[in-house]
Structure 1
C-alpha cells in the first residue's frame, strides 16, 4: 500500500488507473530473436577484427532490404508515390547515402540536416519542422530546385516569401497540418480548418508556390491514428474551393511507422510502472518483460491504401508521399561493447556508456544483451552498466550467455533508430561506426 497526500493507494486502484495490463513478452518470440543474432555471432565478431569495441555496426544490406520492402508495400497499390527518409532518426551520412541509392528522397528537419543532404547530392529533399530560422529558409531558397519547404505556420509563410523575393526565386512548398490541437503536438503545423485561409494567404505570396499538405502521427504501432486523420482530412478537403484543389500536387502522410518487432518494455516503462515510480514504489528492474505488438508494413498498406483512395485521392488525385525513418533504420544498426570490469557475479561495467544513445533508454526499454564471446540460450540476471559517472548508465538488467567476464564482447541488437542521432559527448568517447557493405 502506498501513502499519498490523499491517503493510501492500493495496487487495485493503480491497476484501475492504467486500464488493461500490457501483454507479456512471448517467450518463444524472444528466444527466436536471440537465437537469430547468436547464429550471426561469427559475422559480428569478424566485423570487429580491425575495429575493437565499442562500435556502432551498420549493415547496409539490411538497410537496403528494408527500403525495398517498404516501397513495395505501397508502390504496387497506389498509382503515384514518393518516399523520403527522415534523417533525424539516424543522421549518419552512410545511412542517407545508401537510401538515396534505393530511390528515396530525404526528409530534413533543420539546417545541418539540409546541408548534409545537399552534400550527399540529394536532388529531392523535403524540409519540415517548426521554427525554421531565416538562415535555414535562405539555404532552402538557394537550392529551390532540390528542396520543397513544408511550412509550419502563417509566420513562416511570410518569412519564406521575403527570403525568396530577395533572391528572385520561386519556392515549391506544402503546409503541415497539426494532428493534435490540444497537447504539445500543437507546436507542429496549422489546424486543418485553416487550410483555405493558408492557401488564400499563399496566393498573395508570388514567390511561394503552395502545392500540397503534410501531416504526421507518431508511434504508429497500428494505422488507427493515421486512418482517423485521413478520414477527417478528406472531409475538410471536400469543403475547399475547386480552384484550391487543382493546385495540389502532393499529400504527404508522414512516417511514424513502428518496426515490426513491436515495443519492448521493462516493468518501469509500462504505464503501471511509471505510476508506481511516481508514487515512490519499487518497480522490478527486469522480469517480467512486455511486448506491445506492431503491424507489419504490409498490414499498414492494406489498411491505409483504401482509406487514401476513398478520402484523399477521390478528391485530389495527387501524389502520396511517405516519410519513414525509425522503421527503415531500426534493424540496420547494432551497438557492440566489451566488459571492462566485473564487480560482482551480477554486476559488470562496460567500456561504453549510454551517452552513445543519448538518453536513459534501457531503464524503460528492454533489449536483450547478448554475450557473443560465450553464447548460450540462457538469460542470467545481471546489471550491465556503462562507465559514465551516473547510476542511470544502464544497458540492461540481464545477459544471454554461459557466463560473463572482463573482455567479453556484448551485442545490443537493433539499435538503429533514435540512438546514433541522439548520442552525446559526455565523459567517455563515442563509439566508432563500422559499416558493413
Structure 2
C-alpha cells in the first residue's frame, strides 16, 4: 500500500461513527439533577462555591445494591471498597458501616483505613516498601497482603519471621503479561512456582488469589480470565487447592450510565485530529454502553460456579471502587466572567479533578441558576492559566451569566483522589 492509499484508508476509518448518546437518556440524566436543584443550591447558603458535594445516601444505596446483586447468586462473598477511587475518609467510612472491607494500595491508604477502624483490609499494589509491609504485618489481625511479585515474597517472608508474626497473604495474577499491564502481579503460568516458593516462609499463610481487569463495560474480560484460572486450578494438587480460602476477582465495574465521550474522545475523532481534521461538533455526544451490576453479578457468578468453585471451595471477594462512588460526588462552581456570548470562566479549574478529563469525556454542565433542558453551545472553562482547563463545550440552561451556579454531576470516581494544588486552591468538601 502506497502513502496515498494509506491516507485514503485512514480517512475512511475516520469517517466511522461511534454510537451516539440517545437524547432521551441524556435528558433523563439532566432532569434528575435539575429536579433536585433547590437541595443543591441550599447547601451554598452556608458553603459558597466552589465545593465538592458528597451525597451519603447515594453511597449507601450503591453498597446495598451491589451486595444484594452478588449475595443472591454466590454462596460466600465479601466486598472491599477500592480506596484509590475516592480517598476521602467519609466515603470509606460509609462503606465500612455498610459492611464493606477496604482495599488499599499504599501505606498512606493503609494508615487511613486503620485510622477509620476498618477490621477487614486487603493491601494490594506493586512496589510495596519495607516500611509499608512492616505496617501491614504489625496489623496482621486486620490486614491481608496481596503480594505482587516473587521479589515482594522474598522481602515479606523474612520480615514476618523477624517480627514473629504470621500473616495471611494472597498473590496477584497478571491478566495481561504484555505491555504496561505486566506491571501488576505474576503471570498465571508462574502460579505453581510461586506457591512452592511461599512454602519456604512458615510465617506467611498463602490463603488466596487475586486478579483485576479494569474499565469493564461488560463482564467479558473477567469471565475470560476466570476460565483461564479455572483450568490452572483444576490441574493443581488437591492439597494446594485446599489451602485457598479466597479468590479476589477485583473491581473495574463501569457505572451503569456507560462511558460518555466528546467527539475528540472517540477512536475516529482521535484519528481525524491526527489527519489534521476537526474531531467533530461540540453538540455530538457518544455513548459506550455498560452492563448493569445485576448483569455483572449474573454472568460472573455463573462463570465462577462453573470454572472456580468446582475446584476450590472458597469465598469470592470483589473490590468495587468507581461503580460505588462515581455518582455520589458533584462539583458546584460559579461563573466569574463572561468573555463572549459563547465563552465563560468559572471560579475553579480542573485541578479539582486532577486531569484534563473533559476534552474527551462528556458530562453535561448544568446551570442551576437558570435551569433548562435545552443544551446550548458555550466554552465553559476554568480559571487556571492553561488552555486545557475545560469543563465542557455546552451547558444546559436558559442563559449563562456571571454569578450563576453550575453543576458537574457524578464526579466521585478518580477525580477527588487525583486533585492537585496547581495554581488555585482546592474546594472544600460538603457532605449531605
Query: So what's the TM-score if we normalise by structure 1?
Result: 0.97
Q: Is 1:158 aligned to 2:154, yes or no?
A: yes
Gaps of 5+ in 1: none
- 1:295-331 Cα distance to aligned partner (Å, 9 max, x none): 1000111111111001001100100000000000000
Measured in 1, the distance between the counterparts of 2:303 and 2:380 equals 46
CA contact (8 A) 2:13 2:268 kept: no
Which residue is 1:431 aligned to? 427
Q: Is 1:13 aligned to 2:10, yes or no?
A: yes
Alpha-carbon deviation of 1:158?
0.8
Q: 1:112 to 1:341 in 2, by over 3 A?
A: same
Which residue is 1:87 aligned to? 83
SS in 2 for 1:381: strand
Aligned length, in residue pairs: 431
Alpha-carbon deviation of 1:278?
2.8
Alpha-carbon deviation of 1:165?
1.4
Q: Is 1:57 aligned to 2:53, yes or no?
A: yes
CA contact (8 A) 2:348 2:382 kept: yes
Q: Is 1:185 aligned to 2:181, yes or no?
A: yes
Structure 2 counterpart of 1:68, from 34, 39, 64: 64
Alpha-carbon deviation of 1:228?
0.5
Query: So what's the TM-score if we normalise by structure 2?
Result: 0.98
Consecutive aligned runs of 4 or more in structure 1 exceeding 6 Å deviation: none
Which residue is 1:202 aligned to? 198
Q: 1:204 to 1:366 in 2, by over 3 A?
A: same
Measured in 2, the distance between the counterparts of 1:170 and 1:289 equals 53
Within 5 Å, which residues of 2 pair with 1:120-139?
120-139=116-135
- 1:198-244 Cα distance to aligned partner (Å, 9 max, x none): 11000001111100100000111000001110011100101111111
Alpha-carbon deviation of 1:163?
1.6
SS in 2 for 1:331: helix
Alpha-carbon deviation of 1:401?
0.3
Measured in 1, the distance between the counterparts of 2:208 and 2:271 equals 42
- 1:252-296 Cα distance to aligned partner (Å, 9 max, x none): 000000000000000000111112223333323512110100010
Which residue is 1:262 aligned to? 258
CA contact (8 A) 1:355 1:430 kept: yes
CA contact (8 A) 2:122 2:146 kept: yes
Which residue is 2:328 aligned to? 332
Q: How much is the aligned-residue C-alpha RMSD, in angstroms?
A: 1.3
Q: Is 1:175 aligned to 2:183, yes or no?
A: no
Measured in 2, the distance between the counterparts of 1:203 and 1:109 equals 25
Measured in 2, the distance between the counterparts of 1:365 and 1:285 equals 14
Which residue is 1:316 aligned to? 312
SS in 1 for 2:308: helix
Measured in 2, the distance between the counterparts of 1:159 and 1:15 equals 54
Gaps of 5+ in 2: none
Which residue is 2:412 aligned to? 416
CA contact (8 A) 2:113 2:121 kept: yes
Q: 1:39 to 1:351 in 2, by over 3 A?
A: same
Measured in 2, the distance between the counterparts of 1:271 and 1:232 equals 30
Alpha-carbon deviation of 1:371?
0.2
